[in-house]
Amino acid sequence: MKVTNTSQSRQGVHTTDGVVFIHPGQSRDVELTAAGEKFIDASDDLSIEGRTRKAAKPAATGERETPAE
C-alpha cells in the first residue's frame, strides 16, 4: 500500500518488516500490519492511497441531547 505523510514531522508506521518512518510530504510503498492499518485509519496525518476517510464526527456544541421518551 502507498502511505503518504501529510504532517510536518516524521511518522512511523508498523509494517510486516517492522516500523518504517515516512518523512513529511513523502510517500512509501509498504505492507502494513493490522495495527499499522488501524493507526493510519485513525490518523489525520497519514493516508493510504485510494482510500477515502470516514466521515468526521460532528463538533460538540456543548449542549447535551435529552433521550427521547
Quick: pLDDT tens for 12-49.
999 999 999 999 999 999 999 999 999 999 999 999 98
Sheet bearing 2-5, strands edge to edge:
27-29, 2-5, 46-48
Prediction pTM value? 0.70
Residue 57 reports pLDDT greater than 50: no
**Contact 36/1 with Cβ under 8 angstroms?**
no
Quick check: 14 and 61 in contact, CB under 8 A?
no
What's residue 64's pLDDT?
Answer: 57
